[in-house]
Each structure stands twice: as C-alpha cells, then as structure tokens.
Amino acid sequence: MSVVYSARSGVLAFSMLCALGLPVVAVQAQPATVAPAGKPSKTTQLQTVKVTASKRVENLQRVPMSITVLTPEKLESFGQAGDSVLQLASRAPSVYAETSYGRIFPRFYIRGLGNSDFDLNASQPVSMVYDDIVQENPILKGFPLFDLAQVEVLRGPQGTLFGRNSPAGVIKFESVRPSQETSGYARVSYGSLGTANAEAALGGALSPHWSGRLSVLSQHRDNWIDNTFTGQANALGGYNDRALRLQALYEDDGFSALINVHSRLLDGTAEVNHANAIALGSDNFVPGFRRDRVAQDGLNKQHLFSWGSNLHLNWDLGNLAFTSITGLERATTYSRGDVDGGYGAVFHLPMGPGFIPFPVETADALPHDRQITQEFRLASRHTDRLKWQLGTYYFDEDIAISNFDYATFNNHALDGYARQAQRTKAWAVFGSSSYQLADDFEMRAGARWSHDARDFKVKRLLSPIGGGPLQLSAQPHDSRWSGDLTGTWTLSPTVNLYARIANGFRAPSVQGRVLFSNSISQAKTETIMSYEMGVKATGMDNHVRFNADVYTFTMHNQQLTAVGGNVNVTRLINARRTDGYGAEFDLDAYLTPNLVLTAGGSYNHTRLNDPTLAVAVCGSRCTVLDPINAQGNALVNGNSLPNAPQWIGTLTARYGIPYGDSGEFFVYTDWNYRSEVNFFLYDSAEFRGKPLLEGGIRLGYNWDYGKREIAFYGRNITDKLALTGAIDFNNRTGFVNDPRVVGVEFRAEL
C-alpha cells in the first residue's frame, strides 16, 4: 500500500484539486445527468437522498463511497423515445454502455472497466442488481426500466457485500414497493418512427396487512430502415417490448414478506449492421452513408422471453434484524442477423456495399437459462457506535447456448451448429461493520470469502468450414478473499471526507465458440486493488449538494476478449496488468426557486501494461496504429481499454413558470457527452467512435399540483450521427446510434 500511495500521491492530490474545481466549469459549460423532469417544485431545497449501497438505508452523504443516484424523473426523460437500459450510458460519471445485439444484451463499463464479449455466457465486471437479485447472464441485464424508485451507481470494487464479478462496480435498480397508501400513474407517448410507449402502475392496500402493486410497460417502434437489396421499405429497426411486475407485501408485528414476480417479452430487430460504413484511413463515414438504409441479403430476427420471482423476508428481532432473499430468474432468446451487413461476396457477384470477402449470417440462442440465488443476513439494530452484519450467499446457474451459421447463398440453410452448456455454482460468507471511534471519525471494514466453480461443455455437430464434429470441456474454479476498509472524517455537519481501500475479483471464465475454431479459451481470475478519496458536502442552506472523488486502481490478469480480427475467432485472454486513475463529481443545485440544475463529470485514464500481449488485427482492410509482431498480431501494450472514454459529462436543467393556483409551464433539457472510444484492443484509424454529444428536451405544462402533465419531447435533438460499434473480421462494418425522435406525452397520477 505504501508503494502505491507514494508513487501516486502527486496524481491523487492534483486530481482532487481538479475535482474540487470542476463544478464551476460544469455548471457553466459541461454536459450531464439528472433533474426533475416536469414536476412542479414542491420545495426550493434539496431533499435527503436515501441509498442502500451498504444494504442498510442510509443518507447518501454519509456513505463513504462514490455513488450517483438517478431519480425516476431523470429516467423517464432519458427513456422517452423507448430507449432500453442503454439510456444510462454517459448519464452518470464514469458510466458507459454499448451493445452489438440490439435491445437484449447491454454491456456496461465503469471507470473504463468492462467486457466487450458478445457470447451468451460472457461475464462482466459491472454487476447489475435488480431488487437485490444479481442479474448474472447478459440477457437478464437488459430488463426495461419502469416504475423504479431510483437507480444507484456504485463505483469501484464491491467485493464485500456484492462479491464476485463486481470489481468495476454495481448498478442497483430499486422498484417502487407496495404500500398501504393508494398510488399509481399512467403515461403514454407517441413520436416519430412510430415510437409509442405506454406505462402504468397501481398499488395500495389489499387488507390491513397486505398491500400490492402492479406495474406494466409496452414499448413499440415501427420498422424504419429500408433494405435496398431486397427493395423492401421499412424492413428493419422496429420492436415490440413488453414487461410487467407484480408485487405483494405482507407486514405484521416486526415481520414482512415481499413477493415479486416479473416478466418480459420482446420481438423485434437484432443489431442492424452496415457493411463498409467506415472510410478507409479514418473514423469518418463513407460518402453518402445513411443510417435509414442498408443493403443486406441475410435474415434478421430477435426474440426474448424472461421471467423471474423473488421473495424478501425480514424479521425484526429487537436489537437484531434477520433477512432472507431468494431469487429465481429464467430466460430464453434467439437473435439472428446479417453480420457482414451487405450482400453477395467476391466469389458470388454482385456484392456490396463495397468489398465483401464472404457472407456471414449467424444466430445465437439461449434455449435454457435458470438462475437461483439465496442470501441470508443478520444485522445489528438500534446501536449508537457499532453496526455490523453477517451473511451467506449461494448462486446456482444452469445455461444452454446454441450457435448457428446459415448459408446465405443456399436459401439460408443451416450449415453450422454447436451447443454449449455451463453450470456455475458459487457460495460466499461475508461480514461488514462500522464503528464510530470519535464524534468526527468513523471506520468501516468488510471481508468476504467466495468460491466459484464452472462446469463447461461444448459440442460441435455441424461445421460451416468442414471441421467435423468436436466435443470439449473445461472446469475452471477459484476461491478468493475480497473486502474494503474506509475511514470517514466529519469536518462539519455538512462536509465529510473519506478514504477507501477496496479489492475485488472476477471469477475465471471460459468460452467455446467452436463453429470457426477447434479449441475453447479460458481466462484466469482477475483481481483489482483500488484506492479512493472523496468529499461529500451540502451548502447554501441545503440548496447545493456536491460530491467528488479521486481514485486509482491496479488490476492483475484482467479478463479481456480479443474479438474477431483476421482469424475470425473470439478468444479470452488475460492482460498481465492494467492501471487506471481518475476523478469524478456530482452536483445538484437550486440556482433559483424555479431553476434546478444537476451536473456530473469524470476523467478516466486506463492503460494496458503487458509488453507481450498481442491480438489479431482486422480481417478487413484497416490502418493499424500499433506495432506488429512477427506473427502479424498487434502489440497492445500502452493502449487504453476498449469502450473506455476518458471524459464523460452530463447536465440537466429545469426551469418552471408557475401559472394559476396549481399549474406550471416548464422546460427541461438534458445533455450527455463522452469523448473518443476505441472499439477493439488494438488501435486503428477506423475502428473508433468520435466524441459524442447528445441532448434531449421537454416542453410542457402540468396542473393539479403536478398530477396531470402534457409535454412535447425530443431525443437526440441535434440528430447526431455516430458510430457506436464495429465488426472488423469481414469488412469495415459499423452500427450507429438512433436518429432524432420527437413526440408528445401525457401523464396522470392518482
């Protein structure tokens, strides 16, 4: 520890000074996250924000950790145009997200740490926790956002309370719980591209001890992308996404039981790939590129059905509290797309757009995904100085994956088929405590012992390249300690300083995409050690809340995915060492009684430190900027991580003009920015995304003290066109962001 602090003390001190100075710049000129979207101001002071990051209900300002809270108002505005969970990208400091699967497979990154793997058993270092249930499989992570109390973004390793596979952080989703008070809302909107959203919730007392809540969501978009090869107008881009949540809560004499049942059904379009969208030698689009047109000869289809249930039991035992959380999640999916993004091939003319060396039409399916989790916790209550909790955790996942390849030129006949099966069992014991050593100083500490084991099998039944039948297996496993140690200094009733040391790990992984390969790949356990210092403050008579931190981390054996390249094989690799450091801030402010502003920003620096690490480069023509070894692979030592923007900024502002006794005209705007990102481990002139700034706006009127509202909205109001990802093994294939969507929305509350 002393070595790390001595080596980086200058960086930390400088970054803290920068972070403390950021709000002045951000309020005046940056992009951002958050703000009441169309609700009349019932107060001119900031309200206390409660979080459950430590699995207790605490004031955000008292939790010594880098946390951003996204409110329902923000989420409603971000998702007005039917955005999936990817709407969270760049909406909180250090948070980025992307996908190559459309709406069903989000990949999240915190502080530059994430995983670009597209396999259906891929593990990710950002853990998604929905109503206290971890969503391990990537398909489960895409559950829509509706009727939520809030979203908490916990940055940095969460190795004590959340355990394995959370070395980058955790994103926690909290649904609105049932209560004895009758409440509910309905929200409908319609916009361009046939974008329609309907959302409603109703809850209240069922009896003196029982209450319930039903929440439903329906999202639709028409097909809006023409396929010029088939001549079909409006052939792709649409979807129907439906979800529901049913909850029942029993409360009586110190005991409560919360039952949650939820489901999702999606039918629509898989990711729409554009062949040779990127100009050779630059990251510009080719002349004449249009995102509403493709020329594809492959088929496209996407379907998903998931459902789950969980049971929260809580007993008040006087000075103790006992909690049991049981979860079951299940999912099936099928996603098929034209991966090369074009038509024909050099040996099957005509071809285009541009040069197509060979066709690629594939599908992945998850015919079976079953996840069971169980957590028990015993915690202290009603204590002045000492608080503690002890717990156990069990995880059991059983998944089956099917990989398909289709002969596009032979009437799309199946010519490749492989089956994967994976059983994962993990368990852990953990404990955490906090002690008030003095009136102005608190210590927190936690530790967790985790064990993780996988049994993986893959069988190739049909090879598209004549490889013949194949059967392989692997059984990776590991056990690890993880934990954290934090000190908090109370400088005044409104200012806290903290320092945090934390570590975490991601369990070993295995992949078996054997349609074009005769081997499986494995990645060893990755570990991280992180150091963080921060300040949490409120001021100006509780009109301003400002939280900032600086951090540094070292990761050993980071699990990375070498995607595609000229070998057309995806494989897991470990980087010997990865270093990172940065600074983050969140700001909420009532500038006037009618003007509310929120801002957030981050700087994240990542660097691979492994002189021998080499990956295959593009199979299509591209301009590689890294050194090339004797085998023709790129040496990526010194590169930043893929999909890791250095700068992220977010800004929201809302101005209301009272009208009459209970009405208000308002304008609300939100903007988010991310700097340049590389799509792959190697650097090239083509496969990267330029800096991106997107904005949204709401103009409306609410009345009856905010219970009724009508608003006009716009998303991506500047109609910015940007690359969001690429495929490099066939041609310079790209996929892009959504166009501008404008519409009208009505909302009513009980």
**Would you place residue 20 in the very low, low, confident or very high pLDDT band (cuts 50, 70, 90)?**
very low
3-state SS, residue 341? coil
**Would you place residue 566 in the very low, low, confident or very high pLDDT band (cuts 50, 70, 90)?**
low
pLDDT at residue 256 is higher than 70: yes
Nearest alpha carbon to residue 744 among 80, 74, 240: 80
pLDDT digits (tens, 9 = 90+) for 86-140: 888 889 999 999 999 889 999 999 999 999 888 999 999 999 999 999 999 999 9
**Would you place residue 34 in the very low, low, confident or very high pLDDT band (cuts 50, 70, 90)?**
very low
pLDDT confidence of residue 709: 96
**Would you place residue 7 in the very low, low, confident or very high pLDDT band (cuts 50, 70, 90)?**
very low
CA dist 584 and 648 (Å) reads 9
pLDDT at residue 40 is higher than 60: no
All structural domains of the chain with their residue ranges = 2-749
Provide the H-helix boundaries in 70-186: 72-78
Q: Which two tokens stand for residue 740?
A: 């501008």
CA dist 475 and 103 (Å) reads 31
Instruction: Please state, in angstroms and as integers, the Cα–Cα distance from residue 702 to each residue in 39, 44, 197, 310, 666, following that order.
Output: 7, 18, 19, 37, 8
- The one-letter code for the residue type at 424 is T
pLDDT at residue 183 is higher than 60: yes
**Residue 744 near residue 712 (C-beta atoms within 8 A):** yes
pLDDT at residue 265 is higher than 50: yes
Q: Which residue has the tokens 């904005």?
A: 695
pLDDT at residue 30 is higher than 90: no
User: Integer distance in angstroms from the first to the last C-alpha of the chain?
Assistant: 55
**Would you place residue 597 in the very low, low, confident or very high pLDDT band (cuts 50, 70, 90)?**
very high
pLDDT confidence of residue 568: 67
User: Averaged over 418-439, what is the pLDDT?
Assistant: 96
Three-class secondary structure assignment of 442-493:
EEEEEEEEEEEEEEEEEEEEECCCCCCCEEEEECCEEEEEEEEEEEEEEEEC
Nearest alpha carbon to residue 128 among 119, 139, 118: 139
What's the half-sphere exposure (Cβ side, CA atoms, 13 Å) at 514? 27
pLDDT at residue 19 is higher than 50: no
pLDDT digits (tens, 9 = 90+) for 131-177: 999 999 999 999 999 999 999 999 999 999 998 899 999 999 999 99
pLDDT confidence of residue 83: 80
Rounded to 5 degrees, what are φ and ψ at 169?
150, -175
Q: Which two tokens stand for residue 473?
A: 């297996």
3-state SS, residue 87? helix
**DSSP structural state of residue 62:** G
Q: Which residue has the tokens 């760049």?
A: 90
pLDDT digits (tens, 9 = 90+) for 80-99: 777 888 888 889 999 999 99
pLDDT confidence of residue 77: 77
pTM score of the predicted model:
0.93
Nearest alpha carbon to residue 273 among 177, 343, 197, 199: 343
pLDDT at residue 341 is higher than 70: yes
Please state whether the peptide bond connecting residue 353 to the residue before it is cis, i.e. omega within 30 degrees of 0: yes
**Residue 220 near residue 195 (C-beta atoms within 8 A):** yes
Please state whether the peptide bond connecting residue 350 to the residue before it is cis, i.e. omega within 30 degrees of 0: yes
User: Averaged over 399-404, what is the pLDDT?
Assistant: 97
- The CATH number for 2-749, chosen from 2.40.170.20, 3.20.20.70, 2.60.260.20, 1.20.990.10, is 2.40.170.20
